[in-house]
Amino acid sequence: MERVDAGRWELIYRADAPRVYRALLATLSDRDAARDALHEAFLEGLRHPPGRDENLAGWIFRVALRKAHRGPYRPLLSGVADALWPASPNDELAQVLDRLEAGRLLALLTERQRSIVVAQYYLGLEQSEIARLFKVRRGTVAATLSQAIRRMRQGSQHAI
Amino acid sequence: MPSESFETIFRRDLDRLPGLADEDLVPRGADSARRVSFGSVLALVGVFVAVVVVVLSLQAIRDADRSPQEAAATQSPYFVIAGGAAAGATASPNPAAAPSPAATWIVGPPVSNPLLGVPSCPPGSSPILDVTHWPPPGDLPGGGAPTAEEAFRRAYPTVTDFKMFPWGTSPAPVWVVAGSETYVVNYSGGPGLNSWFAHPAKYVGCYTPEPRTPRPSGLPSEAPTTFG
C-alpha cells in the first residue's frame, strides 16, 4: 500500500479534522475526549501515515475512536469530573445535541451504533469502508446499522 | 419516522456542532497533544497511589520476614568522630547521624566480629563507630572519589587485600576489612560527583536509644555523652 508522505500529513489532516471532530463529538459526547482523540490520531498519522487509498476522514475517525477507548477509566472519570463541575463544557454540548434532531436520534443508540451511523450518514463512508476501518465483517456493519435505524425510527415515532 | 433522510438530518445537524479553533486542530507539539485531562490526572494519581501502597506493603512483608540479625545488620551506624586535632579522643557524634535529643546512649558489647563483616547489633540498637577523620579541609563533595572502592584505593594505595561489605541496602556506608584493620567508606552530600571518602573506623559497640521525658525549658541541658 502506498503511503502518504509524512511531511504532507498535516495539510491532509487539517482538511478533514474539523468534520471528524464533530463526528467524534456526536459519538463520544465529550469535548475533551474528542479533542484528545483527534490529536492522538494526528500523531499516529505522523508515525504511521495512512495509505493513499484510505478514506482519510474515516481513517482519522477510526484511529481517534480507538485512542479514545484506550483508557477504560475515561468514562468513569469523566462522570466524576462532570459531578464535580456541574457546568462543564459537556453540558453545553449535551444541550446543543438535545436541540438538534440528529442529537436526539443518536441519544437512542449505543456508542458503537453511533459511531457506525455517524460514519455512514455524516462522514459518508460506504459500509465496506466502515467494515475495513473497524476491522469487522460487512455483515456486522449492516446488522448494526439496521438495528440503529430501527431504534431511531421507533424513537422518532414515540417522540411524535 | 423522520420526514427527511437520515443522511440529510445528520449532515445538516452535525455541522452545527461547535468546532475546534484552527490552532487547536493540531496538538502544540507532541507533549501538548498528550495534554492530560482531569480524568487522566485522576487515573494517574490513582495508579501512583496503588503502586505506593503495593510497594509499601511488600516492604512491610519483607521487613517482617527478616531475621533480627538481618534487621540489625542493616541498621545504619552512628559515627563517633575522632577529629584530626583530637585524634585518639572521642567527640560528640556526627550531628547528621546523631540520635535524637530525647534518647540516651546505652552502650552494649558488639554481637558480631567486625573483622568478618558489617558489625551487627541486637534488634532495636545500632552500631557505633569511632571514625578517624582526615585533617581539614576534610570531606567536601567533589573532592573525593566516584565510588566507594575507588575512595578506599586512593586513601590506602598500599592496602590491596581487603573486603568491602555494604551496610544494608543503601549505597552507604561501606564497611571495609583489611586484615585486622577496619575502615568505613561514606559519601558526603550525595553518592555521585566524587563524594566518597574512606576513613579508619573502629567498632565501638551498640547503643540503644532510650526514650526520656522532655526536659522543662529553661533548664541547662546535659553534657554531651563522650567515650574515652
Chain segment B146-202, per-residue pLDDT in tens: 888 888 898 888 998 999 888 776 777 888 999 889 988 887 766 666 788 888 888
Residues found in chain B:
228
Cell numbers that stand for B1 in this block: 419516522
Q: Select the residue from A35, A70, A108 to test the B interface by mutation, using most B Cβ atoms within 10 A.
A: A35
**B50 shares contact with chain A (CB less than 8 Å):** no
Report the SS3 class of residue A126.
coil
For residue A123, give the chain B residue with the closest CA. Answer: B11
**pLDDT the model gives residue B3:** 64
If one compares B205 and A41, the residue with the highest pLDDT of the two is A41
Q: What is the mean pLDDT of chain B?
A: 68
Domains and CATH numbers, chain A: 6-159 (1.20.140)
Enumerate residues 99 to 128 of chain A having a beta carbon within 8 A of any beta carbon in chain B.
Answer: 100-103, 105, 117-118, 121-122, 124
- Phi, psi dihedral angles at B110 (to 5 degrees): -65, 150
- Number of A–B residue contacts, CB under 8 Å: 116
**Subunit contact A102:B19, Cβ cutoff 8 A:** no
Average pLDDT in the B201-209 region?
A: 75
**pLDDT the model gives residue B222:** 44
For residue B20, give the chain A residue with the closest CA. Answer: A18
Closest approach of chain B CAs to the CA of A53, in angstroms? 23
**Subunit contact B14:A23, Cβ cutoff 8 A:** yes
Helix (H) or strand (E) holding B178: strand B174-178
Question: With pLDDT > 90 as the criterion, what percentage of chain B qualifies?
Answer: 4
Q: Choose from A11-25, B1-15, B212-226 the range with maximum mean pLDDT.
A: A11-25
Chain A contacts of B13, Cβ < 8 Å? 100-103
**pLDDT the model gives residue B95:** 39
Domains of chain B by residue range: 1-65, 68-211
**pLDDT the model gives residue B61:** 66
**pLDDT the model gives residue A127:** 93
**pLDDT the model gives residue A152:** 92
Chain A contacts of B15, Cβ < 8 Å? 22
Helix (H) or strand (E) holding A158: helix A138-159
Chain A contacts of B40, Cβ < 8 Å? 71, 74, 77
Chain A contacts of B12, Cβ < 8 Å? 102
From B154, B199, B136, B195, select the one nearest B171 (Cα to Cα). Answer: B195
Among B2, B26, B43, beta carbon nearest to A42: B26
Among A32, A97, A121, beta carbon nearest to B7: A121
If one compares A64 and B120, the residue with the highest pLDDT of the two is A64
**pLDDT the model gives residue A24:** 94
pLDDT band at residue B20 using 50, 70 and 90 as cut-offs: confident
If one compares B164 and B35, the residue with the highest pLDDT of the two is B164
**pLDDT the model gives residue A80:** 56
Average pLDDT in the B25-43 region?
A: 59
From B143, B146, B125, select the one nearest B134 (Cα to Cα). Answer: B143
**Subunit contact A157:B1, Cβ cutoff 8 A:** yes
Chain B contacts of A22, Cβ < 8 Å? 14-15, 17, 19
SS (HEC) of B194-221: CCEEEEEEEEEEEECCEECCCCCCCCCC
**pLDDT the model gives residue B185:** 86
pLDDT band at residue B102 using 50, 70 and 90 as cut-offs: very low
Among B1, B17, B39, beta carbon nearest to A96: B17
From A75, A55, A47, A66, select the one nearest A12 (Cα to Cα). Answer: A55
**B17 shares contact with chain A (CB less than 8 Å):** yes
**Subunit contact B18:A78, Cβ cutoff 8 A:** no
**pLDDT the model gives residue A160:** 44
| DSSP for residue A51 | B
Per-residue pLDDT of chain A (160 residues; tens, 9 = 90+): 455 566 678 888 888 999 999 999 999 988 888 998 999 998 888 888 887 777 889 999 999 998 887 754 454 455 555 555 555 667 788 888 888 989 999 999 999 999 999 999 999 999 999 998 888 999 999 999 999 999 999 887 765 4
Cβ of A91: how many Cβ atoms within 10 Å? 12
Enumerate residues 52 to 81 of chain A having a beta carbon within 8 A of any beta carbon in chain B.
Answer: 71, 73-74, 76-78, 80-81
Predicted confidence (pLDDT) at residue B99 exceeds the cutoff of 60: no
- ipTM comes to 0.81
Tell me if A28 sits within 8 A of A71, measured CB to CB. no
Ranking A68-77, B48-57, B131-140 by mean pLDDT, the lowest is A68-77
From B139, B145, B127, B135, select the one nearest B201 (Cα to Cα). Answer: B127
**B40 shares contact with chain A (CB less than 8 Å):** yes
Predicted confidence (pLDDT) at residue B90 exceeds the cutoff of 50: no
Give the end-to-end CA distance of chain B in Å, rounded to a whole number: 101
**pLDDT the model gives residue B212:** 52
**Subunit contact A10:B26, Cβ cutoff 8 A:** yes
- Alpha carbons within 13 angstroms on the beta-carbon side of residue B170 total 12
**Subunit contact A42:B33, Cβ cutoff 8 A:** yes
**A96 shares contact with chain B (CB less than 8 Å):** yes
DSSP B94-148: PTTTPPPTTEE--EE--SS-TTTSS----TT-EEEEEEEPPSTT---TTSSBSSH
